[in-house]
Amino acid sequence: MEIIIVILGLILDRVLKIWSLNYLQKVNEINVINNYFSFLFVKNKGAAFGIFQNKVIILSIITSIVTLALIFYLIKYRPKNKLLRISLSLIISGAIGNLADRVYYGFVVDFISLHYKTAYYFAVFNIADSLVVIGTILLAIYILKEGK
């Protein structure tokens, strides 16, 4: 199950990033829901919310270590809890997706823009970011539920 989650997440992330690079980059922005949601091409040379700008090597090393640790944990301990396995698989998938961008392009391809008119813009993100966030939320639920 974990391998399927990781592979499906990587495929979805990769396909949309390729679309973003090949099409969205040329038009820059596609308005989907006026004043709320658009596809906006961004080259992110940092981490979440633009922190650690131009620290591609450090971010790649940290991501690699964390991802390998999570994979090692799943293989060695084979946790029985389904929620834990799913959450870690989502985090691994998203981490690999963004790591691949950093290594191959020197930046992460972001393209999902949520905003309220021109008053508020949330940080532009991608599918890999979403996988990491969803996986982290599920992991937090698991930890709270299990009391660990």
- Catalytic residue positions, numbered: 110, 129
Number of structural domains in the chain: 1
Across all residues in the chain, what is the average pLDDT? 94
Going 142 to 144 to 145 to 148, the CA torsion angle's sign is positive
Residue 124 is part of which domain span? 2-146
Residue 44 pLDDT exceeds 90: yes
Sheet strands (E) in 99-145: 108-116, 120-121
Distances (CA, A) of 39 to 36, 81, 140: 11, 36, 29
Say how far apart CA 102 and CA 87 lie, in whole Å.
23
Q: What is the pLDDT of residue 147?
A: 74
Question: pLDDT tens digits for 63-91?
Answer: 999 999 999 999 999 999 999 999 999 99
Q: How confident is the model at residue 54 (pLDDT cuts 50, 70, 90)?
A: low
